[in-house]
Amino acid sequence: MTTLPKDMKYEDALAKIEDIVSELEQKEVSIDELIKRVDFAKQLVDFCQDKLTKTEKEIEKIIEEK
């Protein structure tokens, strides 16, 4: 299982997700690689969702403080 780097950026994660989608669309992924790709894509999506949620909460907090 591939693990995400600690300093992963949201935009990089999104770009990788889009790369995976593109690979899948082009059917360039072998069945052997498919599980690895989907698993990696799930991690990336979770990372991005988490980042979005956290960012939203932070901004809400900042706005409410004012």
Per CB under 8 A, residues contacting other proteins are 14, 17-18, 20-21, 24-25, 27, 29, 31, 34, 37-38, 41-42, 45, 48-49, 52, 56, 59-60, 63, 66
Indicate the Cα dihedral angle 33, 35, 36, 42, nearest 10°. 140
The answer to whether the beta carbons of residues 32 and 26 sit under 8 Å apart is no
CB of 42 to other proteins, least distance (A): 7
Structure tokens given for 14: 């999104």
CB of 25 to other proteins, least distance (A): 6
Structure tokens given for 49: 């969702």
When the beta carbons of 7 and 42 are compared against other proteins, the nearer one is 42
